[in-house]
Amino acid sequence: MSLAKDNIWKLLAPLVVMGVMFLIPVPDGMPPQAWHYFAVFVAMIVGMILEPIPATAISFIAVTICVIGSNYLLFDAKELADPAFNAQKQALKWGLAGFSSTTVWLVFGAFIFALGYEVSGLGRRIALFLVKFMGKRTLTLGYAIVIDKCIDILLAPFTPSNTARTGGTVFPVIKNLPPLFKSFPNDPSARRIGGYLMWMMVISTSLSSSMFVTGAAPNVLGLEFVSKIAGIQISWLQWFLCFLPVGVILLIIAPWLSYVLYKPEITHSEEVATWAGDELKTMGALTRREWTLIGLVLLSLGLWVFGSEVINATVAPALLR
């Protein structure tokens, strides 16, 4: 019963915030519709923080409110007074404009691609292969998660969603390692090795998301804003080369520094490498689905790096998915 009441308050809170802001006098110099639109925006943020329903539903409701109340939220009196101005048509056009954004489709494609890694088993195979050859020492296992040839760096250029990449491909493999050492979360045994490995996963996600423009959706959004506001076009290769010096330094020192500051109790073991080898044997040879995904991955990367002169390098790889 208390949970139901709590959820009701979470549902009402955004509406209360929006109502209060509507009652506040419009600040001097600000158009009334801009203040009302801001009220809806703040209410949406409150809803996403409290999350009584999924965030996507909250954002959809906010857009719907703006479209329905467009006369008060989107357009000024001058526009509405123009006989040639069709408010309903323009409001609907505004509401659907986001779906024409190349960035939106790139993010959508990212999750489809990440699902392909998980369903085909290719992501798990790559992870197990690296663990097999670098998992005998805890420090090298940390490097296997973070540095060149590691799980996340290999996937980052092709999967523009750190959530989908880490949660769908990397974490399912990493979570199997600590129990081999009797290391469990929310337990003192986490210090044995689990805490270090999970921290390495967080670091690898942060680095890979920053190193490639396609490593995280906010990178692409940022480039879109720069392009619209400043008129500057930054390519995939330019982004990568600019971040490369800092990225290489961080990749080299991050696992070692974490190892020194938060040294795990277990530093050597053959068990993880043996386990990874056994899992690879169980998986067998590359399947047809994995080979197909490899081909699409290479084609997508090629279009991201070299396709901007010929075709929209953001949309084309997403369509391949």
One-letter-per-residue 3-state SS of 5-57: HHHHHHHHHHHHHHHHHHHCCCCCCCCHHHHHHHHHHHHHHHHHHHCCCCHHH
pLDDT of residue 38: 93
**Mean pLDDT across the chain:** 79
Answer yes or no: is pLDDT of 267 > 90: no
> Quick one: pLDDT at residue 1?
44
**What mean pLDDT comes out for the span 38-57?**
89
Q: How much is the pLDDT for 310?
A: 53
**Residues in a beta bridge with 268:** 137
Q: Of 196, 198, 206, 178, which Cα lies nearest the Cα of 259?
A: 196
pLDDT digits (tens, 9 = 90+) for 202-252: 888 888 788 877 777 778 778 878 888 888 888 878 888 888 899 889 888
Contacts of the segment 4-10: beta carbons below 8 A, 24+ positions apart: 7/52, 10/50, 10/51, 10/52
- Looking at the predicted structure, is the pLDDT value of residue 149 above 50? no
Q: What angle do CA 95, 101, 102 make, to 5 degrees?
A: 160
Distance CA 170, CA 157 (A): 14
What is d(CA 137, CA 121) in angstroms, rounded to the nearest whole number?
25
Bridge partners of residue 137, in order along the sequence: 268
3-state secondary structure of 76: coil
pLDDT reported for residue 74: 86
Q: What is the pLDDT of residue 87?
A: 83
Two tokens at 117?
A: 């890694």
**Among 121-130, 179-188, 213-222, 287-296, the range of highest mean pLDDT:** 287-296
The answer to whether the CB of 76 falls within 8 A of the CB of 33 is: yes
Poorest-pLDDT segment among 175-179, 237-241, 266-270: 175-179
DSSP 3-state assignment of 186? coil
**184 and 190 Cβ atoms separated by less than 8 Å:** yes
| Per-residue buried b or exposed e for 251-290, using 16+ beta carbons within 10 Å of the residue's own CB | beebbeebbeeeebebeebeebbebbbebeeeeeeeeeeb
